[in-house]
Amino acid sequence: MSNRYQVPDRFTAGAQYIGGRLRPGTSEHTQRVVDPATGETVLGYAAAGPADVDAAVAAARTALPGWAGATPGERSAALHRFAAVLAADAGELARAETLQCGKPIRLSTEFDVPGTIDNTAFFAGAARHLQGQSAGEYSGDHTSYVRREPIGVIGSIAPWNYPLQMAAWKILPAVAAGNTVVLKPAEITPLTSLMFAEAAREAGIPDGVVNVVSGTGREAGEHLVTHPDVAMVSFTGSTAVGKRVAALATASVKRLHLELGGKAPFVVFDDADAEAAIQGAVAGSLINTGQDCTAATRMYVQRPLYDRLVEGIADTMATVRLGDPFDPATDLGPLVSHAQRDRVAAVVERARSYAKVLTPGRAPAGDGAYFPPTLITGAARESEVVRNEIFGPVLVVLPFDTDDEGIALANDTPYGLAASAWTRDVFRANRATREIAAGCVWVNDHIPIISEMPHGGYGASGFGKDMSTYSFEEYTQVKHVMFDNTAVARKDWHRTVFGARRG
């Protein structure tokens, strides 16, 4: 364990990044960041209290006119430099992410960090392509055009499963469009969000444009969501907390963007490439130790392939190497926390009474928050493992008979974030992509995301889009500007008030 990342001393002094510098929080609550692979505390910090949120919002407000007034070219240049700084810091960011989340270093190095850099480079380009409708004379007497304007100070709240990428997804489209941001990362994983904000400063993005308050949802999150100077709330997290955030934000008529939970179906039709479905199901359910809102969790297999796939998945899961996340040979690290491991273990224990747990499905002895890949069959449609988000390395497999039934089962949940359909038949694939209600439907794959394409849910998975230029719809507002072209005092339409009288 000697090669573990050491948290830099500067974070011991403070884990609030406000107006371009780190400072301690003013809450009486000390928050711990724990390495889930060992159970050791790697950082204790004074959490953000309401006064820190107020200071961060004030810094963001002060920075707003200058940043909103910068040209798209200037914002783009700063974001290009930002991408370069992140690329130079890539190794450190990956190690810090692995330390606080327990995710395998291979995942941090090959997915989280390059994804973040690519997102930054994407928004550097996209910043110059914010579009309004073209101008024109839509009434004979006027010229109209549309201005696309930033909204103001954005209050963003992020979860712990991909802290760096979530910071990027929340901050980049907002600042590319000229807003300023106060981000509250999950209190157990603030490190890489703070480093991301520091990198923004190093790239020359003005102080106050990006602020990070590290603290709990109740103390810092709710104060941010209800703050009168926050114009929009962008939340990624569970549906339960999302509902509370929505209620709080709505009371003060704030714009809202919600990226919530998921329970992604993985539907395999009987003509599918069985080996591809096996590999895809194991990778798609175990990525990030299953703590992925789009992870494959409910697998529906058409009856002729069912036995073969269950056997193949169990065999493939048995080859997955559980271990120290800093070891490049490790496939599956611990869950993010011991609390999360215990929640997952309890769900699996309860499942033993109503379904079959085919793999060992029990946490190994030791200090780490580990839980092995787990495969469950024979669960009823309405059972907990089929209906609720588990957020662990657990895959439930169920059979179906007709195509109609497969698609109906895929839609048999209030969630609608992502789904996949596995078939070699173009008509089946086309029907599944049309009829499955989710913000993303993959065909013959499950998980990949790209900066150019939108990510966001249907139904209880929320509304609004991250990534891609679609995210600008969230972080901008459109203004209609109308010029009179007649230059006369008594306009034609004044007849509705004055009748035919001359002015």
Shortest separation between residue 287's beta carbon and ligand NAD, angstroms: 12
How would you classify residue 19: left for phi > 0, otherwise alpha for psi between -120 and 50, otherwise beta? left
Binding mask 264-293 for ligand NAD (x = CB under 6 A): -----------------------------x
Which residue lies nearer to ligand NAD by CB, 62 or 388? 388
Which residue lies nearer to ligand NAD by CB, 245 or 347? 245
Shortest separation between residue 15's beta carbon and ligand NAD, angstroms: 14
What is the arrangement of strands in the sheet containing 476-484, beginning at the earlier edge strand? 136-139, 142-150, 476-484
Alpha carbon distance 154, 164 (integer Å): 18
Q: Is the dihedral of CA 97, 452, 147, 458 positive or negative?
A: negative
Which residue lies nearer to ligand NAD by CB, 191 or 314? 191
Extract the runs of DSSP E, i.e. beta strands, from 123-225.
Answer: 136-139, 142-150, 153-157, 180-184, 210-212
Query: Which H, E and C letters describe 343-399, residue by residue?
Result: HHHHHHHHHCCCCEECCCCCCCCCCCCCCCCEEEECCCCCCHHHHCCCCCCEEEEEE
Q: Which amino acid is at 411?
A: N
Shortest separation between residue 301's beta carbon and ligand NAD, angstroms: 24
Q: Which amino acid is at 32?
A: R
3-state secondary structure of 491: coil
Q: Which stretch binds ligand NAD (CB under 6 A): 182-190, 194-202, 393-401, 441-449?
A: 182-190
In what helix (H) or strand (E) does residue 478 lie, and over which residues does it extend? strand 476-484
Residue 428, Cβ neighbours under 10 Å: how many? 21
Which residue lies nearer to ligand NAD by CB, 277 or 419? 419
Which residue in this structure is represented by tokens 């004074």?
A: 46
Which residue in this structure is represented by tokens 């790239």?
A: 203
3-state secondary structure of 238: coil
- Judged by CB under 6 A, the chain residues 208 through 237 that form the site for ligand NAD are 216-218, 221-222, 225, 236-237
Q: Please, what is the Cα angle at 15 between 181 and 247, to 5 degrees?
A: 45
- Candidates 59, 121, 203, 241; binder of ligand NAD (CB under 6 A) is 241
Binding mask 366-395 for ligand NAD (x = CB under 6 A): -----------------------x-x----
Residue 135, Cβ neighbours under 10 Å: how many? 12
- Candidates 63, 171, 260, 440; binder of ligand NAD (CB under 6 A) is 260
Residue 199, Cβ neighbours under 10 Å: how many? 24
Which residue lies nearer to ligand NAD by CB, 244 or 308? 244
Alpha carbon distance 106, 288 (integer Å): 11
Q: Which amino acid is at 388?
A: N
Among residues 86, 14, 78, which one has the least CA distance to residue 47? 14
Residue nearest ligand NAD, CB atom distance: 217
Shortest separation between residue 380's beta carbon and ligand NAD, angstroms: 23
Binding mask 144-163 for ligand NAD (x = CB under 6 A): -------------xxxxx--
Binding mask 289-318 for ligand NAD (x = CB under 6 A): ----x-------------------------
Q: Which two tokens stand for residue 200?
A: 């923004």
Which residue lies nearer to ligand NAD by CB, 379 or 417? 417
- Judged by CB under 6 A, the chain residues 429 through 458 that form the site for ligand NAD are 457
Alpha carbon distance 427, 431 (integer Å): 6
Residue 97 makes contact with ligand NAD by CB under 6 A: no
DSSP string, 437-477: -SS-EEES--S---TTS-B--SGGGEES-BSTTTHHHHHEE
Among residues 175, 191, 213, 200, which one has the least CA distance to residue 52? 213
- Candidates 61, 80, 106, 244; binder of ligand NAD (CB under 6 A) is 244
User: Do strands 136-139 and 142-150 pair parallel, antiparallel, or not at all (unpaired)?
Assistant: antiparallel
* Residues catalogued as catalytic: 259, 293
Shortest separation between residue 488's beta carbon and ligand NAD, angstroms: 54
- Number of residues binding to ligand NAD, judged by CB under 6 A: 30
- Candidates 95, 103, 184, 341; binder of ligand NAD (CB under 6 A) is 184
Shortest separation between residue 236's beta carbon and ligand NAD, angstroms: 5
Alpha carbon distance 295, 391 (integer Å): 8
- Candidates 199, 245, 246, 256; binder of ligand NAD (CB under 6 A) is 245
Shortest separation between residue 318's beta carbon and ligand NAD, angstroms: 27
- Candidates 14, 115, 152, 262; binder of ligand NAD (CB under 6 A) is 262
Which residue lies nearer to ligand NAD by CB, 81 or 227? 227
Q: Which residues are near ligand NAD by CB under 6 A? A: 157-161, 184, 186-187, 216-218, 221-222, 225, 236-238, 241, 244-245, 259-262, 293, 389, 391, 417, 457, 461
